[in-house]
Amino acid sequence: MINSENIIQQKANIPKLSLQCENIGANTTTIRSLDWERSRFDIEFGLHNGTTYNSFIIKGEKTAVIDTSHEKFSDTWIKLLVKQVNPKEIDYLIVSHTEPDHSGLISNLLDLNNNIEIIASKVAIQFLENQVHRPFKSTAIKTGAELSLGVNPSNGIKHRIEFISAPNLHWPDTIFSFDHATKILYTCDAFGLHYCTHELFDIHPELIAPDFRYYYDCLMGPNARSVLQALKRIKKFPQIETIAVGHGPLLKHNLELWLDNYANWSSQRSKGEGYAAICYISQYGSCDRLSQAIALGINKADAQVQLVDIRASDAQELSSLIGEANAVVVPTWTNHPDSELQSSIGTMLAALKPKQWVGVYESYGENDQPIDVIANQLRSLGQKEGFSPLRVKKSPDAKIFQQFEEAGADLGQLLNRKKNIANIKSFDGDLMKAMGRISGGLYVVTASQGIDNEKRQGAMIASWVSQASFNPPGLTVAVAKDRAIESLMQVGDRFVLNVLEENKYQKLFRQFLRRFPPGADRFKGIDLIDKAAKGGPVLVDALAYLDCVIQQRLETTDHWITYALVENGKISNLDAKTAVHHRKVGTSY
Ligand code: FEO
């Protein structure tokens, strides 16, 4: 039940930002900051359902707050918190992770009570020193550390909080907190999803599942090994009843499903021997976000990734992660590194092995070392270039993130090349010749999202297309997981199916079949009909087009089968036929 008195709307009738305050367990309250229309978050483009930033208050004899909110809630979050607890009576602020969507109001809270003791990982406390610019009381904790809040005087319940480190989920600073009294596990980013709703809990798993998966793919998948490590650590807690996430509905009614999802997806991504080590420098420029975009691309190509924070990893760990990797991706670093960072960079370079694939990207920090100097240095060490140096000349926008993701996918394909060839050779020849007799039409799928600098576009040749419903009209398109356009084809996204015409398709076929470098304009030199469809560009030379919106996605081993409703369509020549694609074998399109 929603208590409407507890919801503060910032603007009447335009609920772009609002707050929700609910009890979620004994002596435990959540304040959820509801950001209804956030359309982009980190590298996860095209959020359709907004997001939330969840914080919590636990009252024993002493009082702890877990995480704050995004600074865009500065006007309202503190006011609502003060209604729940006198700030002078807050003893502890548990900081699960220092990214600004959770730590944006720490300074505001310390303004009200500078005696609050911050409980966080050592790395988080270091990060906070740069964020809050004032002295604060703190205790650094590790896995196994406990915090007793004592007994709540009104009901005699004793709150004992136990911590575990959960590095890389999603920064190296992350901790989980488990309250033994309520059996609530607080995980911040991990197990979260960007889905804004007044529903406090996961009572409609089917509605939130696509966003839960997308969030995992973008933020957690690149750290699959760390996810498995965290899952192992939380097994020690007896019967978790609720996972109080930092984003989206809290997880309570389908815990087994969500935990199994994380375990299965992460095991899948951690299989195999080779991996790409994607190095980044936490809290330097846009290094973190850019490294994630590369990692997402590598994962899409079904290759393994290990994100490595150069600043937070110790020398031995750094050396072995780099030395054992099949590919290493290196960021530019500041011209004036501190001695600790300098030493870590030295360790990273010394650990490189000849013939590893390497890629270099700009961090867009304040004062990056020239990227060409670093690229030349790597070449001189005998490294093979996995992708051309990725340059960033302005604050990273959607196009730059798309370029980085595509570079990652290219590198992932390089890493998997031998395995994929071996797979094809292992297929039963007769069976695959028989599969090759499955034929389809020829189409170009196009998709476009955002405007101006945030505009992202994609296109691909498709032939695995089929009508799937009469009323309402619907169709399916199979999209390989490593296709660049796949990121633009999530549930709720739009696309256009351009139908190619028999005897008139060659130019378009050649254009869209070729391999594009990361970030390249797929439509250069192609005539388009302006604003004909909502989903993406319509090709002048197509026989027909269908404007589609995606309803569902079904996962197979290497493709997503995308079911979409067709909202609009037009044909240019009633007498013409669709181009048909005949194949010889079923091992390729
Ligand atoms: Fe929700 Fe990594 O912050």
Torsion of Cα atoms, 305 then 306 then 308 then 313, to 10°: -170
**Beta carbon of 102 within 6 Å of any ligand 1 atom:** yes
The tokens 């994630």 sit on which residue?
A: 292
Q: How far is the CA of 190 from the centre of ligand 1 (A)?
A: 9
Is the per-residue pLDDT at 364 higher than 60?
yes
Q: Which residues pair with 66 in a beta bridge?
A: 56, 94
Asked if 351 and 319 touch (Cβ cutoff 8 Å), the reply is yes
**Euclidean distance between CA atoms 309 and 291, whole angstroms:** 10
- Tally DSSP H helices, then E strands, for the chain: 14, 29
Q: What is the pLDDT of residue 262?
A: 98
Is the per-residue pLDDT at 291 higher than 50?
yes
- Per-residue pLDDT tens digits for 294-307: 999 999 898 999 89
Q: Which among 190, 318, 314 is positioned nearest to 258, based on CA atoms?
A: 190
Q: Considering the chain, what is the average pLDDT of its residues? A: 92
The tokens 């398109």 sit on which residue?
A: 477
**Euclidean distance between CA atoms 428 and 436, whole angstroms:** 12
Which atom of ligand 1 is nearest to 192's Cα?
1
According to DSSP, residue 331 is labeled E
- Share of residues in the chain with pLDDT > 70 (%): 96
- Per-residue pLDDT tens digits for 65-104: 999 999 999 989 999 999 999 999 999 999 999 999 999 9
- Per-residue pLDDT tens digits for 90-143: 999 999 999 999 999 999 999 999 999 999 999 999 999 988 989 999 999 999
**Residues in Cβ contact with 519 at an 8 Å cutoff, skipping those fewer than 6 apart:** 399, 400, 402, 403, 406, 407
Q: How far is the CA of 170 from the centre of ligand 1 (A)?
A: 7
pTM metric for this prediction: 0.87
pLDDT category, 6, cuts 50, 70, 90? Answer: very low
Residue with the smallest CA separation from ligand 1 atom 3 is 99
Buried b (16+ CB within 10 A) or exposed e, 399-421: bbbbbbbbbbbbbbbbbbeeeee
Mean pLDDT of 425-436: 90
**Beta carbon of 44 within 6 Å of any ligand 1 atom:** no
pLDDT category, 282, cuts 50, 70, 90? Answer: confident
**Euclidean distance between CA atoms 297 and 292, whole angstroms:** 9
pLDDT category, 417, cuts 50, 70, 90? Answer: confident
**Cis, bond preceding 170 (omega within 30 deg of 0):** yes
Domains present along the chain, CATH in parentheses = 18-268 (3.60.15.10), 277-419 (3.40.50.360), 438-581 (2.30.110.10)
Q: Which amino acid type is present at position 369?
A: Q
**Euclidean distance between CA atoms 574 and 551, whole angstroms:** 29
- Per-residue pLDDT tens digits for 329-363: 999 999 888 888 999 999 999 999 988 999 999 99
Cβ neighbour number for residue 89 with a 10 Å cutoff: 10
Asked if 212 and 222 touch (Cβ cutoff 8 Å), the reply is no
Residue with the smallest CA separation from ligand 1 atom 1 is 189
Torsion of Cα atoms, 140 then 160 then 235 then 207, to 10°: -100
